[in-house]
Amino acid sequence: DAGVIQSPRHEVTEMGQEVTLRCKPISGHNSLFWYRQTMMRGLELLIYFNNNVPIDDSGMPEDRFSAKMPNASFSTLKIQPSEPRDSAVYFCASSLVGTGIGEQYFGPGTRLTVT
Amino acid sequence: AQSVTQPDIHITVSEGASLELRCNYSYGATPYLFWYVQSPGQGLQLLLKYFSGDTLVQGIKGFEAEFKRSQSSFNLRKPSVHWSDAAEYFCAVGVQAGTALIFGKGTTLSVSS
């Protein structure tokens, strides 16, 4: 089975531009998570969804960030307008909740550079 | 609030030597516990997981971890390290299935020949 798929793998954009990151979770999984990794703050949760419904968005830095999950197989994370401090690696992870521990499986990440 | 501490930022181990990476957590009950490994430029790969049962759990790539409730620890071990084990290792805690994970800051493992 394919793992979590993220696109693009790398994104370089100028300050003020809109950035959209995409994620396709593992088929059949019912929870999806967006994390951000930086040297200073490590790995931190931005938002997560259960059954396509946002459950906790307390990690979203500010109104410039938004996330959607229109269906079980697709999610987007949008930054508008982008700022240099948004430069980081953004990971999407999915899990199957309801059986076992519900461990999370991570995608390869999107490395975002905002100049 | 829950927290995870990985006391060692960087560890160097000789190839063939044993390895132990430390992880301590802060949570009132037994959390869901995980170890992930991240190679440079890659995503996080799940090594092993624990919630209940035998406190010594086996994972992939020859890794194991032991849960010690009295010490709030979940240390990762490997009897003989290979050069390919060089990577960053993250301990993570979840308070229940399906919720977000809280990660430690990570331990970078270097393997010397």
pLDDT in tens, B38-56: 998 889 999 999 988 899 9
C-beta atoms of A102 and B32 within 8 A: yes
C-beta atoms of A50 and B98 within 8 A: yes
Query: Which helix H or strand E contains A54, and what residues bound it?
Result: strand A53-56
pLDDT band at A1 (very low <50, low <70, confident <90, very high): low
C-beta atoms of B97 and A107 within 8 A: no
A26: which 2 tokens?
A: 């593992």
CA B87 – CA B93 distance, rounded (Å): 20
CA distances from B37 to A75, A83, A100, B5, B86 (A): 24, 29, 21, 16, 9
CB-CB neighbours of A10 under 10 Å: 10
Choice among A61-65, B22-26, B79-83 with the minimum mean pLDDT: A61-65
A54 touches chain B (CB under 8 A): no
CA A85 – CA A87 distance, rounded (Å): 5
Of A42, A50, A109, the CB nearest to B105: A42
Sign of CA dihedral A101, A102, A106, A107: positive
CA B106 – CA A34 distance, rounded (Å): 19
A69: which 2 tokens?
A: 């999950």
C-beta atoms of A108 and B100 within 8 A: no
Of B43, B97, B105, the CB nearest to A101: B97
Closest alpha carbon within chain A to B88: A42
C-beta atoms of A103 and B49 within 8 A: yes
Residue B66 pLDDT > 70 = yes
CA distances from A108 to A8, A23, B95 (A): 10, 10, 25
Residue B30 pLDDT > 90 = no
Q: Return the percentage of chain A with pLDDT > 90, whole number.
A: 90
